[in-house]
A and B are shown apart, each in its own frame.
Chain A
Amino acid sequence: MTNFPVLSAIVFVPLLGAVGALILPRLAGWGWALLASLVDLALALLLIPRLGTGTTHMLALNEHMPWLPDAGISYTLSADGINLFLICLNALLTVVAVGASFGVARSGDRPRQYLMLMLLLSFGMQGVFLATNLFLFYVFWEVMLVPAYLLVGMFGGPQRGIAAIKFVLYTTAGSLLMLVAIIATGIEVSSTHHTAFTLDLAALLNAGVPGNVQTVLFLGFAAAFAVKAGLFPLHGWVADTYSETPVAVLVLIAGVMAKTGVYGFVRFCLPLFPQGVHSLAPIMETLAVASIIYFALEALVALDFMRLLAYVSISHLGVIVLGIFALNTQGIEGAIVQMINHGIIIAALFLIAGAIEARTGTRRLADFGALATKLPWLATVFMIAALSALGLPGLNSFAGEFLAFLGTFQSSIVFGVLGTLVVIPAAWYMLRFFQGAMEGVTPEGGAVASARVADLRVGEWLPLLPLLALIIFLGIVPNTLTAPMQQPVGEIVSSYAPATPSAFEAPGANGHVHVYHPIQVQTIQTQTIQTRHIYVLQMTNALASGEREQARVGA
Chain B
Amino acid sequence: MSESEILTRNECRRLFDIAWSAARQAGAGELEMLAGAHAYALTRFAENTIHQNVCERRRTVSIRAVVDRRTARASTNRLDEPGIREAAGRAVALAKAQEPDPELLPVAAPAEYRDVDRFSPSTAQLTPAERAEAIAGAIEIAEEASQTAAGVYSSGESVEALVNSRGAFGYYFDTNATFSVTMMLPDSSGWAKASKPDCNIIDPAALARRASEKAKASEKPFEIAPGRYTVILEPAAVQDLLGQMFPDFSATAIRDRRSFLNERLGQRIFGGNIVIVDDVYHPMQSGPPFDGEGVPRRILSLVQNGVVRDIPYSRLAASRTGVEPTGHGFPVPNEMGEAPENIVFEGGTSSLEDLIASTPRGVLVTRVWYVREVDPYEKIMTGLTRDGTFLIEDGRVVGGLRNMRFNESLIDLLNNVEDMTPAERAAGEESIDMVVPAMKVGGFNFTEVTPR
A-B interaction: no
Partner-B contacts on A (CB < 8 A): none
